[in-house]
Structure 1
Amino acid sequence: MRRAAVVAALLALLAALAVWLGTGARSTARPGARKNKPTATQVTAAVEVGAPTQGVARRADVDRSGRGVVQGRIVDRDGSPVSDGRIILHCLAGGTGRSAPIDGGVVELGAEGDFSGPGCRGIVCAELRHPTMVPRDPWVLEPNRAPVTLVAQSLGRVVGSVSDGEGRAVAGAQIWVRRGADDDPGALPPFTSRNTVSDGEGFFSFARVEKPPCDPCGEASGRCEPGDARDVPTYASLMLIARAPGFRATEKEVSVDDEDGWQLVLAPPLTPLQGTVTDAEGRAYARARVLARAQARGYEVHQARVEAGQFSLAELGEGSYDLRVVQDGVELAVSAGHVAGEAVTLVGSVPALGRAVTVAVIRRGSDLPVVGAVVDGGPFAGARTDEEGTIGAAAVLPGTYTLGVRVRGLRSQRGQVTVPADDGGPWTGRMEVDDSP
């Protein structure tokens, strides 16, 4: 019996050894297959089984890479192409609970309303970004299919007209819509924009805010909010402001639901507000401007250049205006409570005798000039550096000036130069820019 047990144990040991040797031989013969198979199994388990479902996104939820191509063409209800705007493509992967924009899925519309962009392994939704149009119905696309035609519809509009006192149309009038004086500060305008311009026949319009139809991607990601766009608190009262050359600023309270449309009549301007601006010694400033802001209408601002110490502010309306005199951003004088037709004498607090200023733009850490840089700010407006990297201006008042510099191939940069109040002779400063793209 003991001998039989020993023999059986030896046979079992030999069998186990043979199996182990065979496994090792197969592993040596196909190392790639044995190595990759468990890894693939682990990834599948992590995505399909091991991913928690409460608030933690699975791998497919955050996979934004494109797969395949989706193509389409957007037209309006009459079949005409929608040639401006853009499409944002979203993906709702199968078995997931939310969508995400596809990488590279922001696509501009072509001249015929056509577009082509990346698809995904799931549902592809097309979101339209357009100032006056929304999809007629949800847009859902399939990758690698023939181009589809998608229909967009125009937003509802409120129309108005601008004319003068004799009924003639006023073209090119600037129109703004503002919240009424007693309205909720948190209210929003019911239109897609706050300003527009009257056309050649004096007509203008504002597009109403409307929600686009909800697609599966928007529903999954929470972009489809319940209710209508008009449920959002909007202006309870609307104030229209119109300005046009040759007329005074006009404002009128209107109703958004006015079925007869809005009609604005512009009044002729009042007598200009005129005056002089000099320093304490009677000297004129080289580049001074006078700004006038209406006290009762903070949005209404006028400006006039000072020429040889004289200025004239036209197209003013009723009421008082506050005046402010500036040159190159330096405040020279302020005065309040002036009306149209008045003559005003303003005296600046800074001597008008400026100095010639040269600013050299160089690369940081060296003395290499930056040629062709565009400089704005202070006494410079679109000045371009010469072959020595310099710009210049005359009659610059003492003070600190912030300058913006744009160099081709580099990021826009800002810096400051301080012009001292010394003997009034020529002054040279420098501004350094980085090579950061």
Structure 2
Amino acid sequence: MTPGAPAPRGATPGADRSTDSYLPEHGNGGYRVLHYDLDLDYRVESNRLAGRAVVTAVATQALSRFTLDLGRFRIQDVRVDGRAARYAHRPGKLRITPERPIGAGETFRVGVRYAGKPAPIAGRWGDLGWDELTDGVLVASQPNGAPSWFPCDDRPGAKATFRVAVTTSSPYTVLVTGDPVSRRRGAGSTTWVYERLEPTSPYLMSVQIGRYELVDLAVGGVVQRAAIPPALRAAVARDFGRHGQIMAALQRMLGPYPFREYVVVVADDELDDPVEAQGMAVFGRNHVDGRRTHERLVVHELAHQWFGNSLTVADWRHIWLNEGFATYAEWLWSEAGGDLPADALAAQWHARVAARPRDVVVSDPGVDRMFDPLVYKRGALTVHALRRRVGDEAFFALLRAWVAGHRHATVTTAQFRAHAQSFTFEPLDGLFAAWLDSPALPPLPR
């Protein structure tokens, strides 16, 4: 592509700029993705990926050019509505100039063929995205690792539907965040096809490849299954033994589980932290010890299916709506499961938070602090303070209505504040301002 070429008449230059406030180098402007269709051929032994992506989008303004986020691959072909398009690619951005401008409101399809050795995206949170395991693959993309394996509009609010087909060597099991559609075995390889029909953020799409055994986590109700290394069967049975009860308790408190099934993957490698994806959570073998040591993490990752996955933040500055609520779900399960009540856990964490520097604003922590433990714990304390202020009946009613009213959509802090206020005559502006908008720690309500 010739740098500095003028935009065709009627098209808007500069439409390829991201509107993401925390990660402006990720995400794109000028269009909205409706659907991704991905066909991937992966060789585990050599870590080689050949991909074909068809991205269906609608232009939100006239476009002479546009961009997709994509990592370090060799681009083989780019087409827009079947016609060869000019392109320029540097790691991170694929810049595309279609043969003719795209009109505002027009639906168009972008085909990209690419290949190479997928590698995670390095950044301030470590390596994110497609990552080789000792014997397989793990994909954990929050917040900006999705371009490590497919071209996308990499913003949390840019939800779309997906079809993903992965072909790899037959000894390996492939799990993708989606509902299984088909499995076709060929000469030495198997193609696994999944569909994600609920609108999904690119960072919440995941591929897991390994020599896994599939086991049920619960019988009846929501399908709950796990993909595990066979050697960990007994430990997983113990550590996830109450999973059906946890699922039932969260559904009573939050409303129906928002997807068709839930899949837990236990990688045969150690991980720093478990990771959630849409309808899936991934744990390391170090999170399984046969003593339920990490059960709170089991609850936390399941709760993200409501808070983070079905209800996804429109922008990363609202991340407390994911992490504060998932942390509070741990306290709710402790209470429902016969352990410490939420009041006691809130008191414990309030004391711990009080001992730390008060230097985080929960409602807008900044990109460097968005995963700070204070966002998680003060977020949960905010939820508990709200519960104490409005009472249990109104609190659980507003939670269920929040989840139901924004199912498979995006949410902001302002929306939650307005939503909560509609469930009580008690003024809540002061409560939210104290807990969310100031680094000072308010006293815990009794």
Normalising by the smaller structure, the TM-score range is under 0.3
Structure showing the higher helix proportion among its residues: 2
- TM-score normalised over the length of structure 2: 0.19
Structure number with higher relative contact order (C-alpha < 8 Å, ≥ 6 residues apart): 2
Structure showing the higher strand proportion among its residues: 1
